[in-house]
Structure formats: structure tokens, C-alpha cells
Chain A
Amino acid sequence: MIEVENLTKRYRDRVAIDALNFTVAKGEILGFLGPNGAGKSTTMKILTGFLPPTSGRAKIAGFDIFENPLEAKRRIGYLPETPPLYPEMSVRGYLAFVARLKGLGGAKVKSEIDRVCAAVGLVPEIDRLILNLSKGYRQRVGIAQALLGDPPLLILDEPTEGLDPKQRAEVLGMIKGLGGRHTVILSTHILPEVKAICEKVLIIHRGKIVAHDAIGAAAFEQGLDETFIRLTAE
């Protein structure tokens, strides 16, 4: 589903990510880990076509995100680090706007809004202004927006940020349910979340991949927490 080759991003003299190489298979749920500033968000921004890479390439379902951006973007649902919400719009109005931009039309817009709102538990809030929603609900609107149009690939940058423990469990359960049919990449700081739902883990540190393996593999034998701390120590 995702093929990344020598992906590099430099900001002036600072190297954000350095020659990343990895692939993600269809239906996989990949936990994307790393300390703050390791390059997680940068990688996600490149994969979704928001930032151009300095060099290297990334393919989504066979489409180069840079050479064929529209085809690649059609297959991605993306939740950025900050949910991209318009506070002055209602939840329904906002989701209808995003659905139309994703190319949905007519009756499909309404049925998709109903579907994603049910999936993230937004139905009672659907006619409220985003301005008036709590942080947890705003995060859910962000996730709902990514799910619109049922894209085969979901890229979620810290999807459980700002949620309380109960909401966290709900959202994680939902993401786990997406596996198999959808490919999911999620970044997080919270290691137990990764253990709970991910099949594979990719750890990056200072822009380089330091581990990429199945969660039960030998690399993580000492436990994910230990491994994470050891690999990102220096």
C-alpha cells in the first residue's frame, strides 16, 4: 500500500528525515513511534502530499504522491497533528464540505456523514458549531473527516491526543476494527496503545529508522518500552 524509498526532507541546514526506506502492506496497522521531533509528523506530511520531499519518493497504492498527487490523495484519509477544523462551521456543514472536496456527491454526502458520525460517536453533536465543542469532540470531528469517503489508507497523527481514557479506548477499538480492510498508520507517544492495536511497529529517531518489525518479533523481545528507550537513548 505504501512504498517509501530514500525519503529525505531538509529544512535549510536541518535534516528532518534522512533517507527513510519502508513499505506498509495492505490491511496492516502500523504504529509509528519516536520521540518528539524525530520526524514522525514530517514523514506523515510528505506521505499525504502536504509537503514535498527534498529527495526520494513515496508511492500510495502504486501512485507517486508527487507525480500523481490527485490519484494518491483520493486514497488517503489524513488526520493532521492539529485537527484542521473551521470553528465557525457546524459539524454537519464541515463534514459536508470535506466530503464534497473528496469528490462525493449528492445523497452520498449525507449517508457518509451519518456513517462516520456513528463510527466516532458524534451523532448527538452533529448540529453544534465546532467552536462550542470540547477538545475530545473536536478530535473526533478530525477523525470523522479522515474517514469520509472510506479511503483505503488512513494516516492518523496522534489520533488519541486530547481524549479521556474512555474515549481513547473507543477510538482505539474503532481503529483496530479498520484493520484488514484498511491500511492504517498511526503515530502516538503512548506505547500501550501501540501494543493494543498495532501489528507492526516502526520507530524513528533523529530522522532515521531504528526499528521496523512485527510487534512480537525478536527486536521487541525485551518489551516495547525498554526497546523504545534503548533505541532512542542517545
Chain B
Amino acid sequence: MRNILTIARKELSIYFTTPWGWIGGAAMAFISSFFFIFFLNSFKEVQDKAKIKGWANMDPDLAQMRNLTDGVIVNLFGWLLIVTLLIAPFLAMRLFAEERRQKTIELLFTVPVRTIEIVLGKYLGGVGAICATLGVTVVYPIILGIFGASQSGSALEWSTVALGYGALLLWGAVCMGVGMFISALTESQMLAAVLTLVVLLLWTVVGALAPSAEEPWRSAIRYVAFDTQLQNLMSGVLDLKAIVFFVSIILLSVLFTHRAVEAQRWT
């Protein structure tokens, strides 16, 4: 356990002494602020219209705009998923590829540390970097909490916000797992990042195939598509099935990384 934390700490410190951690954070802040303002504006527009016409006469599709949590935060989370998908490959790419290129992997494998501790330490460091990147976006719910208002007292449903963040972190951890595995396969960071991005993007379009597929494929595709899996969590419903699904993927990627790293010493 101590070795895992030592390695995780080193990974995190390298994220923040090289530009990557800062670039990730800055990209997240820039893109998310754009979406936050966009959703805030449309929320205000709908609210203004509703004040004149009354909610009863509004399009029922706009019902989610009745409160800040569903109208702004949940919509924003939907986009943060995509931003996380775009940033994670660049945070994950150096985990193993860089160690191999710099030949520091030789150090890690000749100190009295188990391979699984190296893999878990690196994974934990990577997830830490994702947490820090997503942490930037906490300002938006806080701003709404301070300046927002609603008919039922608290401006936001904090349980929904917390669950949404849980879902985002879970997704970030999944992206990091996939990225770490791919990083363990190559010496080139760029190749690792691009391959991870391709895999994650393919995963996002899988869900779009569902409507045109026949049963039982349709259910199967719905099941593996990450956005349908995350939908419940993101809208504030605790969905154990989704948690099990993503945790399984994380465990698999850690296991695969371990096998990949071990296998390279044998060739």
C-alpha cells in the first residue's frame, strides 16, 4: 500500500511540474465555462418566457428548465463527459509509454516493489489528475448555490449534483484505465493518446447504432454504450448496475495493464 501511494504521489507531482496537468485543467475550465454560460442563458430565456405564458402553456420538453439543477447542471454534466473523454487520453498517455522511452521502467522493476503495485500506483496518480481537472468545474454549482434561487428553498438539489460528480469521476476513471492500458503497449506517448482517443470515440458512437439494430443486438448495444449506462446516475438516480459495469471495466483495464507490462519483460 505504501509503495502504491509513493508511486501515485510521484505521478501526481509530475503532472503538475510538466504542462500536462495545467493544460488539462485549463482546457476543462475554458470549455466548461462556455457550456455553463450557454446553459445559463437558455435557462434564463425559458424562465422569462414561462413567466409571461405560464408553465402550463409551455412545451413539455422544456419542463427540465423549471429548476437550476436539471436545467443547467445536469445538462452541463452531459458535456463534461465529452470533455473528460477528450482530456483523459492526454493525461493517461505518459503513464507507461514515458517510463519505457526514458528507460526509468528499469528502476521500477528492480526495486523491491510488485508489478501490481506499480500499476495501481500509476492508475491512482492518473485518477488523481482527472479528479483535479474535474475539480475545476465545482465552481459552477457553487456559483449557482450562492446566487441561484428556487421555489423549494435550496437553489440546487445537492444530492443530484454529488451523484453527477460521482458519475463524472467514474467515467474519468474508466477513460484513465483504458488510456493506461494503451500506454502500456507502446513507447510513443502520442500514439498512446491518439489510440485511446479513437477507442473512446468509437465507444461513444456505439450507442448511436442501437435504434437501427435488431433485437437482441439492440439491447446489447444499449448495454455497452456508456452514455445510456450513465444516464441514471447523471440525473440523480443511484444506479448500481451502471456502477458495477464501470467498476468492472476499471478492474479489467488494471488487470490487462498488469499482464501487458509483465509480458513485455518476456519478449
User: Chain A: residues with CB nearer than 8 A to chain B?
Assistant: 45, 48-52, 69-71, 73-74, 76, 78, 80, 82, 84-89, 93, 97-98, 100-103, 105, 145
Contacts and interface: CB of A to CB of B under 8 A. Distances in A.
Given A80-B103, A101-B112, 11 more contacts: A50-B106, A50-B110, A70-B113, A84-B102, A84-B105, A84-B107, A85-B102, A89-B10, A89-B17, A100-B2, A101-B111
Nearest to A72: B112
A86 B2 CA distance: 20
Contact of B110 (A73, A86, A105): A73
B219 interface: no
A88 B105 CA distance: 16
Contact of A86 (B102, B109, B112): B102
Interface of B: 2-3, 6-7, 10, 13-14, 17-18, 102-114, 265-266
Contacts of B13: 89, 93
A43 to B, nearest CB: 14
B14 A102 contact: no
A contact patch SS: loop
Contacts of A102: 111-112
A84 B104 contact: yes
22 contacts: A45-B106, A48-B110, A49-B109, A50-B109, A50-B110, A70-B113, A71-B112, A74-B112, A80-B103, A80-B106, A80-B107, A84-B103, A84-B105, A84-B107, A85-B102, A86-B14, A89-B10, A93-B13, A98-B111, A101-B3, A101-B113, A102-B112
A151 to B, nearest CB: 10
A84 B7 CA distance: 15
A205 B50 CA distance: 87
Nearest to A51: B265
A69 B6 CA distance: 20
A84 B10 CA distance: 14
Given A52-B266, A88-B17, A88-B18, A70 B114 contact: yes
Nearest to A65: B110
